[in-house]
Structure 1
Amino acid sequence: MNLSFRQLQAFREVMRTGSVSEAARILGRTQPAASALIANLEGELGLALFRRQRGKLVPTPEARYFLPEAEAILDRLALSTRTMREIGELSQGRLKIACMPAAAPVMMPQLVAEFLDDKPDVRVSLMMRASSVIEEWISSQQYDIGLSETPNPSGALDTEDFRLACVCALPADDPLAHKEDITAADLDGRPMAALQDGHPNLIDTQRAFAVQKARFVQRFELRNFQPAMTLVENGLCACICDPITAAGFIKARPEPRSVVFRRFTPNVELAVSILQPAHRPPSTLATSFAQCLSTELHEIQNLF
């Protein structure tokens, strides 16, 4: 059986109006074309749907039985068409995002809020996880978009990579706060907050101090830089932190702020990437959000 959408439309309008010519007018077709649609439908069903009595078109009992079925099919098609149009217009759908801890408190929720401002029916899963977990989730196609530290090359991942220059976080009343650029030598022997042993950021920071023959004193060992902001705020240390954390602190705190951020030399970078599954085409919604996330990271690159 090969029923068509137009056959069902013609049948429904003839049932509603009792006239092939009127049904043709409503559908924007000629009367012969509408008659052919009805005839083809009857051929597909193997049933007579209408009989002519005294010049009038009279539905058969089979036609009356078939009408609710035809209307249900047409209504379902209309709903599906509308839903897919809304998805194409980014007003419906679901987006699953996984992000690293640096972006979870401020940057990512704020970006999601801005993205959803005109999309009340879009649902979002937003999960904070370690970069290794995010890589696994995206590779296995469990999530649409991830923001993590740059992973090793993988055929299961499409990535857009960024290298973000880290900045020096200082108490606002620190004597060094008046400088535009802070060097490792300026921080010689000062207590510092840094990431855990073996983390690339810690290794690069220690190397930067060694280049300038400055003593690196790690007072606080952390899993991410977010708690470091409170420690710096209380005058307990300085910190060479990623610019995502710094930008989030600036956005979340009104001026005057108790922590200031300055460029740091020698350069210490954080490599981060936007991740998407390589073996599944992204939805229009995911593509649009990934573009917003990319723009945000480019802005953070130029912020300090």
Structure 2
Amino acid sequence: MNLTQLTVFREVMETGSIAQTARKLNRTQPAISLALKNLEKTLGLTLFERKGRRLVPVPEAYYLLAETTGILDRLAAISNTMEGLIKGHSGSLNIATMPGPSAFLFPRFISQSVGENPDIKITLSTRSSPQIIELAGTQNIDFGFADFEHSNGKGPQYSVELIMADCFCAIDRENPLAVRDRISVSDLDGVPMGGLHETHPFQRKIRAQFQGASAQYNSTVTCQYFLPLIPFVSSGQCCTIVDPLTVATERELQLSGGKVVFLPIESPLRYEYAILEPVHRPPSQLALNIKAGWKSEVLAMLEDVSANPSTSIVRTEGEA
């Protein structure tokens, strides 16, 4: 017995007619009769009594109909599920993002992308960049979004798409420096500064910039990520150099009530974001769609704040 025979049998049970079944299935009447005959031969059972042009089911046919309906309905459900998976309209997704974008930008993107689709299940985790790198390396997420950190040479088990863009200096609107079109590191010599922890790669890059300009980096406020620094800037307690997605977030949320301005930096300081994907965990179509959509969303936001974004692929060890 095969699916074609079972499909023909169910239609004949519903219509009671070879001719109607043939029309419904877009088959010839001889083909329908042959499929039904072969099914009866396989079962060793006559399923219908022929009364004129009508086919009257025997009692055993009703039992077979119940079983057949269950099988065909289950296969239809599987087919629909697979179609949804192939088109990225269903499935589950496990994503990790660093604290800044996970506060607003990324959840907004995910909610708009998924909408009210009940067939998509999302797990969104907020982790530090080193934790996200570890999760990608151990194949425990579909993809992650983090600060880029160069490989330690141990052979990373993840691929990296880099997005690079210009940073900005956040300054209280009442600060005399706020009237400038752009600002240099030398302008910030000795100025109270807010920043990330000293071990953060970007913070090390900032300190190197200050040293290169023979300027004093006067650290007065330290936070885990950029957004918590904005209230300190708006109250005039410090200035801070921030990544461009923080600028995009502030423009959307207006956390400072318009009290903070963001100035471009002379000799632009580039921020590096990384989209991390495990190399031994084949991505689903849903993961590919969401990852590509997020990349486009990030680039659009960076363009909107005039951060001059660019992209590149980082080759991982072991690649040809």
TM normalised by structure 2 equals: 0.86
The separation in 1 between residues aligned to 2:280 and 2:30, in whole angstroms, is 49
1:176-233: CA deviation from partner (whole Å, max 9, x where unpaired)? 1111211011111011011112221111111111222111111112211121111111
User: Are the counterparts in 2 of residues 165 and 267 from structure 1 also a CA contact under 8 Å?
Assistant: yes
The separation in 1 between residues aligned to 2:242 and 2:213, in whole angstroms, is 19
Sort the Cα spacing of 1:234 and 1:15 in 2 relative to 1 into closer, same or farther, 3 A. Answer: same
| Match in the other structure for 1:113 | 111
Aligned partner letter, 1:125: T
User: Are the counterparts in 1 of residues 12 and 18 from structure 2 also a CA contact under 8 Å?
Assistant: yes
Moved over 6 A (4+): none
Sort the Cα spacing of 1:271 and 1:54 in 2 relative to 1 into closer, same or farther, 3 A. Answer: closer
User: Are the counterparts in 2 of residues 51 and 59 from structure 1 also a CA contact under 8 Å?
Assistant: yes
The separation in 1 between residues aligned to 2:180 and 2:103, in whole angstroms, is 28
Aligned pairs for 1:257-296 within 5 A: 257-296=258-297
1:210-259: CA deviation from partner (whole Å, max 9, x where unpaired)? 22211111111221112111111111100011111221111111896111
TM normalised by structure 1 equals: 0.90
| Match in the other structure for 1:172 | 173
1:15-51: CA deviation from partner (whole Å, max 9, x where unpaired)? 1222222211211110111112112323443433234
| Match in the other structure for 1:198 | 199
Q: Does the residue aligned with 1:186 lie in a helix, a strand or coil?
A: helix
| Match in the other structure for 1:252 | 253
- Of 146, 149, 152, the match for 2:147: 149
User: Are the counterparts in 2 of residues 91 and 118 from structure 1 also a CA contact under 8 Å?
Assistant: no
Aligned pairs for 1:64-213 within 5 A: 64-117=62-115, 119=117, 121-152=119-150, 154=155, 156-213=157-214
Deviation at 1:53, TM superposition (A): 5.3
Deviation at 1:291, TM superposition (A): 1.4
72-81 or 25-34, larger mean C-alpha shift = 72-81
- Of 34, 45, 60, the match for 2:58: 60
Aligned partner letter, 2:227: Q
Structure 1 unaligned residues grouped into runs of 5+: none
What is the RMSD computed on CA atoms of the aligned residues? 2.3
Structure 2 unaligned residues grouped into runs of 5+: 307-320
User: Are the counterparts in 1 of residues 170 and 261 from structure 2 also a CA contact under 8 Å?
Assistant: yes
The separation in 1 between residues aligned to 2:82 and 2:182, in whole angstroms, is 52
User: Are the counterparts in 1 of residues 142 and 287 from structure 2 also a CA contact under 8 Å?
Assistant: yes
Sort the Cα spacing of 1:261 and 1:44 in 2 relative to 1 into closer, same or farther, 3 A. Answer: farther
1:150-193: CA deviation from partner (whole Å, max 9, x where unpaired)? 24455532321122322111111211111121101111101101
168-177 or 144-153, larger mean C-alpha shift = 144-153
The separation in 2 between residues aligned to 1:151 and 1:29, in whole angstroms, is 62
260-269 or 177-186, larger mean C-alpha shift = 260-269
1:86-131: CA deviation from partner (whole Å, max 9, x where unpaired)? 3444443322221001211121122112213364543322110011
Sort the Cα spacing of 1:147 and 1:14 in 2 relative to 1 into closer, same or farther, 3 A. Answer: same
User: Are the counterparts in 2 of residues 172 and 260 from structure 1 also a CA contact under 8 Å?
Assistant: yes
| Match in the other structure for 2:8 | 10
